[in-house]
Structure 1
Amino acid sequence: MDEESTEQAQTTETLNAAGEDCEICGTEMYGLHCKLVCPNCGYRRDCSDP
Protein backbone atom coordinates (compact mmCIF):
# COMPACT_ATOMS: atom_id res chain seq x y z
CA MET A 1 0.00 0.00 0.00
CA ASP A 2 1.48 3.39 -0.90
CA GLU A 3 1.65 6.35 1.49
CA GLU A 4 -1.39 8.17 0.04
CA SER A 5 -3.59 5.07 0.35
CA THR A 6 -2.45 4.55 3.93
CA GLU A 7 -3.27 8.16 4.87
CA GLN A 8 -6.67 7.94 3.17
CA ALA A 9 -7.51 4.69 4.96
CA GLN A 10 -6.55 6.17 8.33
CA THR A 11 -8.61 9.32 7.70
CA THR A 12 -11.62 7.30 6.56
CA GLU A 13 -11.47 5.18 9.70
CA THR A 14 -11.49 8.19 12.02
CA LEU A 15 -14.43 10.04 10.40
CA ASN A 16 -17.71 9.23 12.10
CA ALA A 17 -21.09 10.78 11.40
CA ALA A 18 -21.72 13.25 14.23
CA GLY A 19 -25.48 13.41 13.77
CA GLU A 20 -25.34 17.20 13.47
CA ASP A 21 -25.95 19.35 10.41
CA CYS A 22 -23.57 22.06 9.23
CA GLU A 23 -24.67 25.56 10.30
CA ILE A 24 -23.55 26.94 6.92
CA CYS A 25 -24.81 24.50 4.26
CA GLY A 26 -26.90 21.89 6.13
CA THR A 27 -24.75 18.86 5.18
CA GLU A 28 -24.25 16.18 7.86
CA MET A 29 -21.01 16.83 9.73
CA TYR A 30 -18.42 14.26 10.74
CA GLY A 31 -16.47 13.93 13.96
CA LEU A 32 -12.69 14.02 13.71
CA HIS A 33 -11.11 13.81 17.16
CA CYS A 34 -12.76 16.70 19.03
CA LYS A 35 -13.77 18.59 15.89
CA LEU A 36 -16.89 18.55 13.76
CA VAL A 37 -16.08 18.91 10.06
CA CYS A 38 -18.41 19.54 7.12
CA PRO A 39 -17.30 17.50 4.10
CA ASN A 40 -19.21 19.81 1.75
CA CYS A 41 -18.09 23.36 2.62
CA GLY A 42 -15.21 22.67 5.02
CA TYR A 43 -16.77 24.42 8.02
CA ARG A 44 -15.18 23.24 11.29
CA ARG A 45 -16.47 23.48 14.82
CA ASP A 46 -14.78 22.36 18.01
CA CYS A 47 -16.94 19.89 19.94
CA SER A 48 -16.60 22.03 23.09
CA ASP A 49 -18.19 25.07 21.38
CA PRO A 50 -21.72 25.88 22.60
Structure 2
Amino acid sequence: MNKTSFLRTLVAIMLIFGFSSCGYNGLVALDEEVQQSWGQVENQYQRRADLI
Protein backbone atom coordinates (compact mmCIF):
# COMPACT_ATOMS: atom_id res chain seq x y z
CA MET A 1 0.00 0.00 0.00
CA ASN A 2 1.46 3.32 -0.94
CA LYS A 3 1.08 6.51 1.02
CA THR A 4 -1.69 8.00 -1.16
CA SER A 5 -4.00 5.02 -0.93
CA PHE A 6 -3.39 4.79 2.82
CA LEU A 7 -4.38 8.44 3.27
CA ARG A 8 -7.50 7.99 1.12
CA THR A 9 -8.53 4.97 3.18
CA LEU A 10 -7.91 6.85 6.42
CA VAL A 11 -9.97 9.84 5.26
CA ALA A 12 -12.81 7.55 4.14
CA ILE A 13 -12.88 5.81 7.53
CA MET A 14 -12.89 9.15 9.35
CA LEU A 15 -15.79 10.39 7.19
CA ILE A 16 -17.80 7.25 7.88
CA PHE A 17 -17.32 7.59 11.63
CA GLY A 18 -18.11 11.31 11.46
CA PHE A 19 -21.38 10.80 9.62
CA SER A 20 -22.43 7.93 11.87
CA SER A 21 -21.90 10.01 15.01
CA CYS A 22 -23.95 12.86 13.53
CA GLY A 23 -26.72 10.40 12.74
CA TYR A 24 -26.64 9.02 16.28
CA ASN A 25 -26.91 12.51 17.77
CA GLY A 26 -29.91 13.17 15.55
CA LEU A 27 -31.59 9.99 16.78
CA VAL A 28 -30.99 10.99 20.40
CA ALA A 29 -32.54 14.40 19.76
CA LEU A 30 -35.59 12.80 18.12
CA ASP A 31 -35.97 10.40 21.04
CA GLU A 32 -35.92 13.30 23.50
CA GLU A 33 -38.63 15.05 21.49
CA VAL A 34 -40.79 11.92 21.53
CA GLN A 35 -40.34 11.53 25.29
CA GLN A 36 -41.34 15.15 25.82
CA SER A 37 -44.44 14.77 23.67
CA TRP A 38 -45.45 11.57 25.44
CA GLY A 39 -45.06 13.36 28.78
CA GLN A 40 -47.55 15.97 27.58
CA VAL A 41 -50.00 13.22 26.61
CA GLU A 42 -49.69 11.67 30.06
CA ASN A 43 -50.31 15.08 31.64
CA GLN A 44 -53.53 15.43 29.67
CA TYR A 45 -54.66 11.96 30.77
CA GLN A 46 -53.95 12.91 34.38
CA ARG A 47 -55.94 16.16 34.07
CA ARG A 48 -58.90 14.26 32.65
CA ALA A 49 -58.70 11.70 35.43
CA ASP A 50 -58.60 14.48 38.03
CA LEU A 51 -61.75 16.06 36.57
CA ILE A 52 -63.75 12.84 36.80
The question of a shared fold, defined as TM-score above 0.5 by the shorter chain, is answered with: no
Higher relative contact order (CA closer than 8 Å, sequence separation 6+) = 1
Q: Radius of gyration: which is bigger?
A: 2
Structure 1-normalised TM-score?
A: 0.31
Query: Greater strand percent: which structure?
Result: 1
